[in-house]
Amino acid sequence: MTRAYNDLSALELNPPQSIVDLRIIEANSAAAYFRAWRDMPIKWRGTSRHPIPDDWRDVGPRTSAFALAGNRNASHPINAMLNYAYAVLESRMRIKAVSEGYDPTIGIMHEGGNGASAFIFDIMEPERSTIDLAMLTLIKSTMFQPGDFMLRKDGVVRLNPQFARRIVLQSALVRTCNQPPVVGRMERADKEPCPR
């Protein structure tokens, strides 16, 4: 967290001169942020009958053993949860943005060719913290079972479909209770009351 604070302070003293410079600061801050998650214990039950890899007992790095960079093809359950929750957020933001007439390919901070959804990634950023809060809440309050996840033969971790639904519900509940919608006229998708 010290790194993230230092990066924010540097922005005030020496503002970036380009979007690329700003993205580098953001990437370094995100890496520091996810390092703060590391070694958080994960509670498990049923592991005597269905053993889990040792590195699943704590939150690990926000990277994948199967990618040179990034976190696609999660090799850890927490990354699988985050990837799925972010994918649901991306889909929700894409539907809402397109239905309001926004072009998903014209971004401000994000860029990409061949029809990449740069604008969708831009409008996801303010809501990522809500997804993170939902996943942290779930990690701290849940006794996971090995069956919540599927470990493919190639080592990639996926969510059990029933557990994937829980991820969606947890993300929607936290979002509804903690944050307004991001783009223009977007309405809340769910009207469930917030827990007290």
Residue 105 reports pLDDT greater than 60: yes
Tell me the per-residue pLDDT of 66-97, one tens digit each, with 9 for 90 and over.
Answer: 765 567 789 999 999 999 999 999 999 999 99
pLDDT band at 103 (very low <50, low <70, confident <90, very high): very high
Q: What pLDDT is stored for residue 182 in this prediction?
A: 45
**Coil, strand or helix: which one is 110?**
coil
Q: What pLDDT is stored for residue 95 in this prediction?
A: 94
**Coil, strand or helix: which one is 150?**
strand
Q: What pLDDT is stored for residue 4 in this prediction?
A: 63
User: Bigger pLDDT: 12 or 93?
Assistant: 93
**How does DSSP classify residue 189?**
S
Which is the CATH superfamily of the domain at 41-178?
CRISPR-associated endonuclease Cas1, C-terminal domain (1.20.120.920)
C-alpha angle 88-93-96 in degrees, rounded to nearest 5: 125
Q: What pLDDT is stored for residue 135 in this prediction?
A: 94
pLDDT band at 176 (very low <50, low <70, confident <90, very high): low
92 and 84 Cβ atoms separated by less than 8 Å: no
Q: Residue 43: which H helix or E strand, with range?
A: strand 43-44
Residue 181 reports pLDDT greater than 50: no
- Give the count of alpha carbons within 13 A of 8, CB side only: 8
Q: Kindly report the pTM of this predicted structure.
A: 0.82
Average pLDDT value for residue range 34-58 = 94
- DSSP for 2-34? HHHHHHHHHHHHS--SSHHHHHHHHHHHHHHHH
Domain range annotation of the chain = 1-36, 41-178
